[in-house]
Structure 1
Amino acid sequence: MVDTATNRVALVTGGSGGIGRVVSERLARDGMAVAVHYAGNEAGADEVVGGIASAGGRAMTVGGDVADERAMAEAFDAVEQGFGGVDVVVHTAGRMVLGPLTDFDLDDLDGMIRTNIRGTFVVDQLAARRVREGGAIVNFSSSVVKLAMPTYAPYAATKGAVDAVGLILARELRGRDITVNAVAPGPTATPLFLDGKDEETIGHLSKMAPLERLGTPDDVAEAVAFLAGPARWVNGQVVYANGGIV
């Protein structure tokens, strides 16, 4: 079995920015070699890799549209060639467009379906074929699936599908010693989340959790690191990293 703390290789989709960047950096600090995936932000991925390397870690970049099975197969190939295999896949890449269901643009819905559902299916399918014994697959869901907040219906629908894909895959991988879980963040202070929100809205969201603050990317990365490393008896679960919002 591959060691659960060191000598492991992780592929982090969407690792060029936001939560994916912090997850990449955290797994590198935990001793993993990290492949930082990007779709359009190659410069951001290079910056993450440079930071990991400067801190003494091992990292490389890989690119590709997560919904394109050929592009992502090439990304997995590159990781295997560069680091010898894949032990952990963290699928943070996703797309979020908000709006009321009654007049939501169906082109935006199709785009989210492609990235969030097909992308998860493609990445998980490749991970199921490639991740080594003792490995872990961590998808990204969202707390809005159960919070039922207005304007989030299209996005939450795609994340509900992410839950279904991962929970069923965990059972289909019986006998492989590979865990499959999802992290479901709540309101998290990333530039993307904060963009366009006024102070009143941010203040309201920060009070939703009993801890009375927004989450941080480090909070979410902590949950990912647990599932990607020591949490060998946590399997087929959605972990709500949201400070206690119910």
Structure 2
Amino acid sequence: MDCCVCGPVVATYRHPRNNICPNCYEGAKLLNSIIRKVEDGKRSESFDSRMNLSDMIKWMEGKEKMEEERMDFLGLLSVVFREGFPTDILIKPATGPPIPAHRVLLESRSEIFRTMFESDKCKAPANKIIHLPDITHEELQCLLDFLYAGTLPDTTSEKHVYAMLMASDKYHVPYLKKFCETRLLHLLNPSNALEILEVSETCSSHGLKKNVFDLIEKHKDQIVFSTQFDVFAIKNPHLCVEITRMLARR
């Protein structure tokens, strides 16, 4: 049977001659299932049902790779701790009450936390309070949720994703950094491009920064002549120079 999808013969197929082989049939079912989930609101905003087959395959491969990295990041520790290991440390943010956590899990996720806990001033009995004065209570809860679960809900605010990217850079959590860069890339649009550019510069997120520059070039009139850009240029003169040079070259 010649398959109208993968068959070697180029022809115009009309019913009832539009035969399809089992492999292509299963593939079509899978793609149809994905599109239905998107339409039902069960997929994240990163998927575009207008993608062609090649882009869709790349998107699926990217999602699969991210999930593999997430499972490597999680290991078995998160499951074990969530199922009953008592907490042994308190993390005190700049605002709000301290949040209990598991010291060994934080050490396994972040070299910076490990160094903090191994320093003389942190060699203390259980339930020692560690102060993180540069992060709010909501941001700390968001950070701990990620360190335990390896993901952030789709409902996480854009402001908190910025904060998590900053935290990933400060506390050296590479997987969180990659996760936030991917999320911000999906959220990128002309109205938030300058904010994302600023945080990408601060965190040395070079790939994200390049994508922001590409978007600025496409929407230069909307972005460069906005009042938002005036404020941005005062705060970030070096980035303003980079944008000017980029637009002049192109």
How high is the TM-score relative to the length of structure 2? 0.27
| Greater per-residue helix proportion | 2
User: Which of these two proteins has the greater Rg computed from alpha carbons?
Assistant: 2
Greater length-normalized contact order (CA 8 Å, ≥ 6 residues apart) = 1
How high is the TM-score relative to the length of structure 1? 0.27
